[in-house]
Amino acid sequence: MASATYPFTAVVGMDDMRLGLLLNAISPSIGGVLVRGEKGTAKSTMVRGIAALMPAVDVVTGCRFSCDPALPDPACPDGPHPDGADAAGDARAARMVELPVGASEDRLVGALDIERALSEGVKAFEPGLLADAHRGVLYVDEVNLLHDHLVDLLLDAAAMGSSYVEREGVSVRHAARFLLVGTMNPEEGELRPQLLDRFGLTVEVAASRETDERVEVVRRRLAYDEDPTAFAAKWAAEEDALRERIAAARALLPGVRLGDGALRRIAAVCAGFEVDGMRADIVTARTATALAAWAGRTDVTAEDVRQAALLALPHRRRRNPFDAPGLDENRLDEILRQFEEDEPEPEPEDPDGGPDDGPGGGENPEDGQPGTPDVPEQREEPARGDDGGVDSPTPREPSAAPEDAPSAQADPSDPAGRSGRSDRSEDGESVVVGAAEPFRTRKLDVPGLGEGADGRRSRARTAHGRTTGARRPRGALSKLHLAATVQAAAPHQRARGRSGPGLVVRRDDLREAVREGREGNLVLFVVDASGSMAARKRMGAVKGAVLSLLLDAYQRRDKIGMITFRGSGATVALPPTSSVEAGAARLEKLPTGGRTPLAAGLLQAHEVLRLERLRDPSRRPLLVVVTDGRATGGPEPLVRASRAARLLAGEGTASVVVDCESGPVRLGLAGELGRELRGPVVTLDELRADSVSALVRTVTNTNSRRAA
């Protein structure tokens, strides 16, 4: 017997996520909610809880696509269904369907049996998760880790309310309307802005720092684990009250009036934050309307617009790629205040329209709502972090410096010709050097043909891309190579007794397409952060280059990492990641100074690459070692560094050495290291802007010659 679902009303805190889920339950046309935040914050628990509160649905008996008996889908693959009095239906609870990170395209949208379609002429379709989620909830945990093409398919279906599958001219369409909830940890990488924009609302979640609240969370969870049924029964009254209120808000929603004043406020806010396109205006309008229905009103107020903007705009505003989504509430209030000064709200159009007697009558959404369950109706304050600010960074104008950054100081040794920032630590040795401004980089390629995750970097065999050949199917056939299949079947037609037009095709004739596209790679920097050879100059340029490549990696779906060595050992300053925010924050605080343990840095790189091969064996790495080649840490430092380099080269790691040596006397140690790594050696200046792509082209050419 399955245990009772943890009650939605029993979850402590998480007001923003609670409100976002409730608004989507009232008005699914909002487009779902994206929940950003750390693990262990009851995200999955709340999604299951809201699914349990969704009204039951009537479905056509035996229909795999959950058609409504009162209005069946005329294009349903299981149809046609009778409608009206002749329709037979069964009532069932709304489903909650979870999409795993490793799901295939066929698992998501459904699979057409191409073999039966060709050999038997039967259009056989196996429904996917989108069909299962129709008229329910689709929950996507770690949505940022899904392949881009799956996210595109998912969000397209959510926006259109239907799923369309086509394989080699055989097509199927079915309805797919659901409440979409995606969760993600920003530390593991961001979604592309185009995909972020497709989610209706976004909220930030974090574990409470209040002792009493944390105690209550633990107390309730332990009580639930001890006896789920008794715990659920304790909260049954609150659950029923909330379920009824959702149903009432749904019924009221069509009657909510979105006046011209509210529409103009929405347009002013969206224009003020310079969001692209019109989706933000539409989603904000739908959200404000749902907020009014949730509060039991038939008119949208100024506070509804403000609250809707806080939920619908943070992930849509124009921002620096290194900034997390967020919305400046002071700026929002300023825009709304300016609107009120420039264009006073008109008188109500219909004095008999509802309980709101005027434009100011509903400013407090809690007024006149006695006896409602303990669920926040309007969020007066956004989720706060330890510093009392909004959980996501406060946006700033592009020309403004970060509020918590030290003032910029001119650095004549900055090779980029820009100002850097530096702070000397108490020991007088460690220095934090600011990065030069990031710049646009050209594409970096790893030689050969890989088989890694879909991306936009190096050549690879992928499920999507141009067709380069054909082969016998490996498992279920999904990508048919029609010409190769016909060619394989043609010689056997007489033996198979073909007597008329058409082709007799058997399973052994089928061929699947082999396609070539692009993959994502791992670019791992090993950087000398010691005090030798003008560390400030080197680190300013290197940080700027790494930030630039991190942004490029985000756009091309790569991973990037950074190892530094100084003092007595090496540190993984930036673990392999695709997160722009995490990379920028950690690089900003990277210290320099001390001795030069080169061998430790190379061995740490070997260990990082070893672990990454275990986690993701198909992702190919490129190692970039930034050093003057000196080694002053540990016994026999140069000998140990040489051995570590040969260890990396023996595993076939594509490498390049950026020589940072300067001055009239040059030892050429970086060149020796390059020979040990079997990679090219370039100067520090060649790491800048236009030279980065030339540097990796050299890596490609070197490895190609080695392979030949």
Which positions are catalytic? 279
Look-up of token digits 């806010």: 269
Look-up of token digits 């986690």: 615
Give me 149's structure tokens.
Answer: 């093409």
Q: Is 499 helix (H, G, I), strand (E, B) or coil?
A: coil
What is the spatial distance between Cα 292 and Cα 309, in angstroms, rounded to a whole number? Answer: 14
CA dihedral 66, 67, 69, 75 (to 10 degrees): -160
- Pairing mode, if any, of strands 559-566 and 422-424? unpaired
Cβ within 8 Å of residue 117, ≥6 positions away: 123, 124, 170
What is the spatial distance between Cα 398 and Cα 402, in angstroms, rounded to a whole number? Answer: 10
* 632, 595 contact by CB (below 8 A): yes
What size, in residues, is the chain? Answer: 708
Task: For the sheet with 96-98, list strands across it.
Answer: 96-98, 137-140, 179-184, 33-37, 201-205
Question: Which of 71, 106, 115, 17 lies closest to 477, judged by CA?
Answer: 115
Question: Which of 397, 409, 464, 450 lies closest to 433, judged by CA?
Answer: 409
What is the spatial distance between Cα 475 and Cα 507, in angstroms, rounded to a whole number? Answer: 12
* 284, 377 contact by CB (below 8 A): no
- CB atoms inside a 10 Å sphere around CB 57: 17
Helix (H) or strand (E) holding 631: none
Going from the C-alpha of 187 to that of each of 120, 337, 428, 581, 594, the distances in angstroms are: 50, 36, 32, 8, 30
Question: Which of 74, 72, 102 lies closest to 89, judged by CA?
Answer: 72
Give me 708's structure tokens.
Answer: 């030949």
Give me 49's structure tokens.
Answer: 């809880």
- Pairing mode, if any, of strands 89-92 and 96-98? unpaired
* 99, 182 contact by CB (below 8 A): no
What is the spatial distance between Cα 641 and Cα 220, in angstroms, rounded to a whole number? Answer: 55
What is the spatial distance between Cα 470 and Cα 468, in angstroms, rounded to a whole number? Answer: 7
Determine whether 608 is exposed, middle or buried from the number of CB atoms within 10 Å of its CB (0-12, 13-18, 19+).
Answer: buried
* 163, 176 contact by CB (below 8 A): yes
Q: Is 513 helix (H, G, I), strand (E, B) or coil?
A: strand
For the chain, what percentages of helix, strand and coil (3-state, to nearest 5) are there? 40, 20, 45
Q: What is the three-state SS of 515-548? A: EEEEECCEEEEEEECCCCCCHHHHHHHHHHHHHH
